[in-house]
Copies of this chain bind each other. A is one copy, B any other.
């Protein structure tokens, strides 16, 4: 049985169940584990000796919150994270350098010049096209930087279910899917990790997720590309 790829609606439903009686998680708990998984994925692929300066690009929703938590953990791991969050919510910033919110492209352009790797926490599974300002001009800038990109859950700009059909999305090197991969990630060809080791067996069975085994006490697991191929044959 292959791992299940989720629609946006199903991903939303699972999040709701996790926060309802059947899971009893608070949003803070889920975000903490999600952000930790993102930070561990980036640190597994890009070592701090070669890629110390991480630009964490945060969107306006919960995905941006995951990014902030990831930035904090990356700081604890010894990286030098900087947060780009042009539309900050009411989440706190954990004492990480944040680029002042702006609709201009210049601050991001400068931050990209000083970065070694990008954590893309701009859009998550509730994203619906089109990409709005200031992100519409940010995505091409990020692509042009040619920096390695680690995307959270779904590469920003991709349709959650149809993938990069519009061609306006990022092309990340690494993807960390949270809870279960989204439909749109089927066509992703890079290094693919799964994070969010918090789905109860009951939920996994209810939604036929067929999650892989996480090794030992790890909070992330790499998905073999063979598994992806098998899934695509279904």
Contacts and interface: CB of A to CB of B under 8 A. Distances in A.
29 contacts: A21-B92, A23-B94, A23-B95, A24-B92, A24-B93, A24-B94, A24-B95, A26-B28, A28-B28, A28-B29, A28-B32, A29-B29, A29-B31, A29-B32, A29-B69, A32-B32, A32-B33, A33-B36, A36-B219, A40-B217, A43-B216, A43-B217, A72-B198, A76-B198, A76-B214, A77-B217, A94-B200, A95-B200, A95-B202
Contacts of A22: 95
Contacts of A26: 28
Contacts of A29: 28-29, 31-32, 69
A39 interface: yes
Work out how many copies of this chain go into the complex. Answer: 2
Instruction: Output the residue of A36, A40, A202, A217 with the most chain B CB within 10 A.
Output: A217
Interface string A174-186: 0000000000000
A200 B96 CA distance: 10
A53 interface: no
Given A23-B94, A95-B200, 13 more contacts: A28-B28, A28-B29, A29-B29, A32-B33, A39-B217, A40-B217, A43-B216, A44-B217, A72-B198, A75-B200, A76-B198, A76-B214, A95-B202
A39 to B, nearest CB: 7
A176 to B, nearest CB: 13
Contacts of A28: 26, 28-29, 32
A115 B40 CA distance: 33
Interface string A44-84: 10000000000000000000000001001001110000000
Nearest to A202: B95
Contacts of A69: 29
A215 to B, nearest CB: 10
Interface string A196-224: 01101010000000000010110100000
A17 B217 CA distance: 29
A72 B30 CA distance: 13
Contact of A197 (B76, B94, B95, B214): B76
